[in-house]
Amino acid sequence: MTAPAFPSDVEVGLPTPRARDAVLAGPVQGRWPGVGVLPRAWHGSSWRLVLLGVVPFAAFAAWGLAHAVAVLDGFGHGEMSGVLAVPWLVSFFLLWWVPVSWLERPRKPASAAERAVVDALTVTVQVPVYNEDPGALRACLHSVLVQSRRVTRVRVVDDGSAHPDGTPLDYTDVRAELFERAAAVGVEATWDRTANRGKRHAQMHVLADDDADVFVTLDSDSVLDADAVAEGLKPFADPGVQSVAGQVIVLNHDANALTRLINLLYLPFTRGLRSAQSVLRRVTINSGTLAFYRADVVRGAAGAYENEQFRGRPMQMNDDSMLTFYALLAGDTVHQPSSLVFTLAPEQFSHYCW
């Protein structure tokens, strides 16, 4: 996807002036040409947020109680007016995830032994690329190489990127820069180009035979927070956890009306329904933008995952939900609100039309 360029200098959600100064004063040497200061954000856990939630939670509870009383009162007096409250009461129960989502907390190892388990994990980051803006791709790969918890390898697969006239898109410079900078920080890097067969095939082209312990799927139009990998690996201290969903933040949320609408859709789903499902250890759909999987789960799905069909036609969508489904079959799936990724939302409606 051709995406708008990343801002050259962005700070997102900086909690204090001291933290802001620390980010802006940090080392910037070694950034790729054209890649500005990467955005940062922090997962807020202040008691003020709890107080902020008291008012809507109290109103939510009062609303449900009022309709419950109306139902009982209406039936108790033989009146049909109470029946009208039944669908409202059902709607109240369908919103079970609203209060449950407030119970979610970032997961972390509980002991030194669990921390050692997480530290020993080998990690492969897979980035599928199709007609991506070179500047956005540079920022994406740069964010992988500057993680506070170093990854083992990064594997890029160009899924047949091409100009409208059919000639291949040239990522030669980006590829050369990746190899040079990855070698400098001790990260293995590969870059393959394949025929255009879709994201699933691009992923399994390299993951089916990769020997890492954890696979990270990352979209090429997104950049990782500096601690995204470190935070995303922490839930794997629990051997029952098979996948971890990252927290997606729309970087260009104020670009236009469309991006504002997209941002409004992200928030209630990621910090609402998905957070509630995480409390129950049953996240049903990870975000393809950033997700972590036990590698055995993905390798075990090789062949079936990329060749799934519906009525004889290959499936090109829902790669994230399918991988989450495989993880659910193997164990628990959770969300880590402190593992942050910034993504660029489409700024034109045409992206959704063709």
**Mean pLDDT score, 15-25:** 33
Task: Examine the pLDDT at 100 and tell me if it is beyond 90.
Answer: no
Amino acid of residue 68: A
pLDDT category of residue 14 using cuts at 50, 70 and 90: very low
The CATH number of 112-352 is: 3.90.550.10
Question: Considering only 18-32, 188-202, 235-249, 267-281, which range has the smallest mean pLDDT?
Answer: 18-32
Mean pLDDT over each residue of the chain, to the nearest integer: 83
- Token look-up 């922090």 returns 42
Strands laid side by side in the 214-218 sheet = 188-193, 153-158, 123-129, 214-218, 290-294, 241-250, 332-343, 222-224
pLDDT at 29: 41
pLDDT above 90 covers a percentage of the chain that reads 54
pLDDT at 303: 92
319 burial type by CB count under 10 A (0-12 exposed, 13-18 middle, 19+ buried): buried
pLDDT at 16: 34
**Mean pLDDT score, 308-323:** 84
Task: Examine the pLDDT at 241 and tell me if it is beyond 90.
Answer: yes
Is the separation of the CB atoms in 174 and 134 below 8 Å?
yes
pLDDT at 251: 85
- Beta strands 123-129 and 241-250 are unpaired
CA-CA distance, 258 to 211, in Å (whole number)? Answer: 41
- Token look-up 């999987």 returns 293
For the chain, domain boundaries? 47-95, 112-352
pLDDT category of residue 220 using cuts at 50, 70 and 90: very high
pLDDT category of residue 345 using cuts at 50, 70 and 90: confident
Does the reported pTM lie above 0.85? Answer: no
Query: What is the secondary structure of 64-125 as a DSSP string?
Result: HHHHHHHHHHHHHTT-SGGGGHHHHHHHHHHTTHHHHHTT------SSHHHHHHHHT--EEE
